[in-house]
Structure 1
Amino acid sequence: MPPNTPYFLMGDLNAIPETPEIKLLSQSMNDTRIHSEVTVFGQSGTFNGFNPSVAPTRRIDYIFASRDSIRVISYATFSDLVDQRFPSDHFPVVARCELLKK
């Protein structure tokens, strides 16, 4: 890959931020929740297990961005209920980013 090529890594990584694998990824990429410049919206937990009566605490879903070619503007975790149920056992996470010109 050419230098300064923007890239993302995202998904359900089944690991919380304190685990070695997430710490390793964080050494070479930006965790968009942590590096958001303007806004972080919503809770940190992303796994809800379809249980709306328990506040989610496990963050296992991520969006990582390349360090030198992407500016992270905002990050959000959406936890809306639909008909009093979660549509998924994971909350969607969204990052608004800007590709930087080099």
Structure 2
Amino acid sequence: MLGHTPSRTIWLHPHAPAKPALGTTCNGCGVCCALDPCPAGAMLSRRFRGACTALRWSDKDQCYRCGLLSAPDEVLARWPGPLRRWISRHAARWIASGQGCDADWTPEDPASPPAP
């Protein structure tokens, strides 16, 4: 069916902030990275669908962060030192950090019935 996007279930931290409107400032809701990794995340996760393995919950900030920026030594542990440093240096640009929400999805609360 044209224009139909199948439902997918993602699991987020119960204290994750609500997804912001498309194009507005990212608030670390985690929806985009829990659905599909960005190109940098696909390289790290070795997949194009499903949660990015670099997605990290921050107890301190009560939101999700990209591990390429918040925990590069952990996320890039299997990469050699010089390549790890090079990836870390360019990560913010690759994930479009600071560019606003680009997740064109509408999350639904599992406690509420789906829209018809």
| Same-fold call, TM cutoff 0.5 | no
User: Normalising to structure 2: TM-score of the pair?
Assistant: 0.23
User: Normalising to structure 1: TM-score of the pair?
Assistant: 0.25
Hey, which of these two has a bigger chunk of strand by percent? Answer: 1
Higher RCO (Cα < 8 Å, 6 or more apart): 1
